[in-house]
Amino acid sequence: MKETIIDFFKYEKNKLIHYIRKNLNYLATVEPEDIIQDVMIRVLEKINDGVIIENVSGFIYKSVKNKMIDQYRTRKISVSLNKNDETDEKSLESMLSDARFDIFSEVQHEELRRILFATVDELPCEQKSIWVATELEGKSFAELSAAWGVSMNTLLSRKHRANKVLKTKLSGLMV
């Protein structure tokens, strides 16, 4: 089982890095490789404890997602109130006057993201799994069709229905 896990990380490392970068673009201090390493260690510890993992890919992607959530929750933003010319840090005054630093839009973006994931969790299992696999994990329909033994047209139909439900439920939230 350990070899399967290690092989998975070896062959899927680039996809995992892309997945993490796509979802944690605001955390410049966190390297995707660090998250992958932490997840790999925890998964191998679980195996040593005798836990049987049936769906290795799903388990690892869920573990990576949980680790990203942990990183987001524990991040600390420090803002200097004084201008510090010795470093590249911005002062509070310059951040407030900077048009790019818009706390409202950041909060709005995070709230929309939270609502999106909550809405995705409400989707029927078949629709949710195809949506997550294609949108978050970056898998192709052909790849999923072969792995799941379901026709590509069926997968496209499920994804279309999932998108339709998400669009309907989230239409009032879009700015």
pLDDT tens across 73-97, in order?
776 555 555 554 445 555 555 655 5
Of 25, 26, 12, which is closest to residue 61 (Cα–Cα)? 12
Nearest to 45 by CA among 101, 92, 78, 1: 1
Q: How many CB atoms lie within 10 A of CB 130?
A: 25
Residues counted in the chain: 175
Spatial separation of the C-alpha atoms in residues 87 and 148, rounded to whole Å: 53
Instruction: For residue 128, give both structure tokens.
Output: 């949710």
The predicted model gives 104-123 an average pLDDT of: 81
Q: What is the pLDDT of residues 134-158, one digit of tens each?
A: 888 888 899 899 999 999 999 999 9
Instruction: Report helix angle 141-148 to 152-170, nearest 10.
Output: 120
With beta carbons less than 8 A apart as the criterion, state whether 161 and 127 touch: yes
- What pLDDT, on a 0 to 100 scale, did the predictor assign at position 151? 92
Nearest alpha carbon to residue 27 among 66, 69, 82, 64: 69
Enumerate domains of the chain plus CATH numbers: 1-76 (no CATH), 97-175 (1.10.10.10)
What confidence score (pLDDT) does residue 24 get?
Answer: 74
Other CB atoms within 10 Å distance of the CB of residue 70: 12
Burial of 38 (0-12, 13-18, 19+ CB in 10 A): middle
Residue 175 confidence (pLDDT) above 50: no
Share of the chain above pLDDT 70, in %: 78
